[in-house]
Amino acid sequence: MNYVSTRGAAPVLGFDDALLAGLAPDGGLYVPESWPRLDLDALGGLAYAEVATRVMAPFVAGRIEPEVFARMVAETYAGFGHPAVAPLRQIGDNDWLLELFHGPTLAFKDYALQLVGRLFDHVLATRGRRVTIVGATSGDTGSAAIEALRDRANVAVFILHPEGRVSEVQRRQMTTVTAANVHNIAIEGSFDDCQAMVKAMFADAPFREAHDLSAVNSINWARVMAQTVYYVTAALALGAPGRAVSFAVPTGNFGDVFAGYVARRMGLPIERLVIGTNANDILYRLLETGRYDRGRVVPTLSPSMDIQVSSNFERLLFDLCDRDGARVAALMAALESGGGFAVEAAQIETARALFSAWRCDDDATLAMIGEIHRDCGMLIDPHTAIGIAAGRARRGAARTPMVALATAHPAKFADAVARATGIRPALPERLADLDRRPERVTRLPNSLAAVQAFIAERSITEKGKGGMENGDGDAREGETATTRAGRA
């Protein structure tokens, strides 16, 4: 399978190159040249990892050896905390929840990142290359990336988070990973400061090249690919291919719901894909009005969806524009310069034939958490609540099963759950001692020079000269951790 850019002006790449590239050099996102067909009859009764291997096989064909890939996939999902990996739970008549929080960091991002970490390491080892992953996080993504990349030989990972502005659980999920290749940096500043420094590092060509900077953010095709799998396993369990199924997806960057679209393009009988948004409702407004207009980010109880531009929407736009990259490039230029664009009437009709959207404010989110607790005796997280609310509001045919994606474990957002139900959800057993594990984190000022110096000293790339082998850097990080704990 080859990959083309949504903006039509980048080289066509194989899977491994698209994996390492992330963003295409023309600013676009990589998508497969064509959509392969699923053989659904061959998938019935198989375990999650086996379905996963078969669903993803055409996307990696020619670039990753089939046996190597099958082993990687098996290893990835063997580490999950539920034998079904992505179990379904019934919450009403033809109303289901797909639990995607059984990975190591309790959010659905593990389902893709745990595999992407292995893929990265494998492709880098084959080429004799090493990279430096740099990222900023406001909470969820950082811990999922750290868990995916810990102890991988060819990757060093540096994650910046705003000191004191991520939740206790989120911070500990990052800082208690003390693998030598993992570096947590607490910035004395905001999330925007962290993100601005990461952008500046990627824009600094000598620095970027010296340390082979790379990212595993949500625009990476491999993440979308891995997320198509649970749509397939859920639909099979509910009667596909003989019966159509709908999904409701709490949405931020449009990555997860786009994976549902991919499954449909591959032939999975999906009737509707319902997009759930919080007050940051660019996708809801798009389907209502046909205009894609950037708004200001409003903080909500579902912070992983507090996003003003849904990057992966560009991949759907590419198909809506009949895969004309020049048209997509023009629209994205209008978004950049003027803050928005109108989608043509025929295109929005095409989108509405499959997608619906629903918007939930914080009060409605809390109300849904309370309702599910009363009716089903279950605790759900705020993102999941928005998915359920969206699915119920935009059900379509009542006989079609509606599956809402449960994207995080309730204990990750315990404050909101406690507010809605009076009950504070506990962490699952394997994380029960999280608050007693030692933390390792380095506090740095909001200074690009300081962060770059820290990374340069610990780089493991050929050109970057390693500081990791001598163990010196680690000692200093430990010291900082002590200082930090002393203050707390």
Give the residue ranges of DSSP H helices in 251-361. Answer: 255-265, 282-289, 313-320, 325-338, 345-354
Of the listed pieces 67-75, 147-155, 245-253, 468-476, which binds ligand PLP according to CB under 6 A?
245-253
Q: Which is closer to ligand PLP, CB of 53 or CB of 407?
A: 407
**13: Cα separation from own chain's centroid:** 22
Residue 362 engages ligand PLP in binding (rule: CB under 6 A): no
32 near ligand PLP, judged by CB under 6 A? no
Q: Which residues fall within 8 angstroms of residue 353, CB to CB, at 6 or more apart?
A: none
**How near is the Cβ of 170 to ligand PLP at its closest, in Å?**
10
CB-nearer residue toward ligand PLP: 156 or 216: 216
Cα gap 99→376, rounded to integer Å? 15
Name the one range near ligand PLP by CB under 6 A: 188-196, 250-258, 291-299, 470-478: 250-258
Shortest Cβ 368–ligand PLP spacing (Å): 14
102 interacts with ligand PLP by CB under 6 A: no
Q: Binders of ligand PLP among 277-336, rule CB under 6 A?
A: 304-305
Please, what is the minimum distance in Å from the beta carbon of residue 455 to ligand PLP? Answer: 25
Active site residues: 109
| Total residues binding ligand PLP (CB under 6 A) | 16
Give the residue with the Cβ less far from ligand PLP, 69 or 254.
Answer: 254
Q: Is 338 exposed, middle or buried (0-12, 13-18, 19+ CB in 10 A)?
A: exposed
Q: Does 407 bind ligand PLP (CB under 6 A)?
A: yes
Please report whether residue 137 would count as binding ligand PLP according to CB under 6 A: no
> What phi, psi does 473 have (nearest 5°)?
-60, -40
> Which run of H or of E encompasses 174?
helix 168-175
Among the listed residues 383, 394, 440, 458, the single contact to ligand PLP using CB under 6 A: 383
Residue 94 or 311 having the CB closest to ligand PLP: 311
Mask of contacts with ligand PLP, 105-124, x by CB under 6 A?
Answer: --x-x---------------
Q: Which two tokens stand for residue 25?
A: 């050099």
DSSP string computed for 5-34: ETTS-S--EEHHHHHHH-B-TTS-BEEESS
- For ligand PLP, the binding residue among 253, 277, 278, 400 (CB under 6 A) is 253
For ligand PLP, the closer CB: 253 or 300 = 253
Task: Give the C-alpha separation, 18 to 443, whole Å.
Answer: 34
User: What is the rounded distance in angstroms from the CA atom of residue 488 to the CA atom of residue 481?
Assistant: 11
Residue 379 phi, psi dihedral angles, 5° rounding: -100, 130
Per-residue binding letters, 422-461, with ligand PLP (x by CB under 6 A): ----------------------------------------
Give whichever of 308 and 480 is closer to ligand PLP, judged by the CB atom: 308
Tell me which residue of 179, 134, 138, 131 sits closest to 158, measured CA to CA: 134
Distance CA 148, CA 66 (A): 21
Whether 21 contacts 337, CB under 8 Å? no
- Which residues make up the interface to ligand PLP (CB under 6 A)? 107, 109, 140, 218, 250-256, 304-305, 383, 407-408
